[in-house]
Amino acid sequence: MLVHRDVAADKKILRAHMRALRDAILPEQRAAWSRQICARVVHWPAYQRAGVIHCFLPIQSEVDTLPLIAHALAHGKRVAVPLFTVGSDETRCAEIDS
């Protein structure tokens, strides 16, 4: 028997749940984890070889990627970030230089 699921609704519910969990993390803990994440990434061989990285800009309680972006720019890497357009499924990218 095939059960029809509303994948879009499931995805929306999951995203809301994960956002609530992320929002519940204390800011000091989130900052410490963000620093650890960025520190680990800069040591990855793929990151070190890369001439261009694609990275999101943090909003709300997301991982703070700004130190990673600053590191990349300071080391001569090009940085691209996603550009979301309200009402569109298309996600373009833009290069940033600061």
pLDDT in tens, 55-86: 999 999 999 999 999 999 999 999 999 999 99
Give the tens place of pLDDT for each residue, 17-44.
Answer: 999 999 999 999 999 999 999 999 999 9
CA distance 70 to 98: 8
pLDDT band at 95 (very low <50, low <70, confident <90, very high): very high
Residues 6+ apart with CB under 8 A from 57: 65, 66, 69, 81
Q: Average of pLDDT values for 50-59? A: 96
Confidence (pTM): 0.82
Q: N- to C-terminal Cα distance for the chain?
A: 55
Residue 9, pLDDT score: 86
Choose the weakest-confidence range: 5-9, 49-53, 56-60, 65-69: 5-9
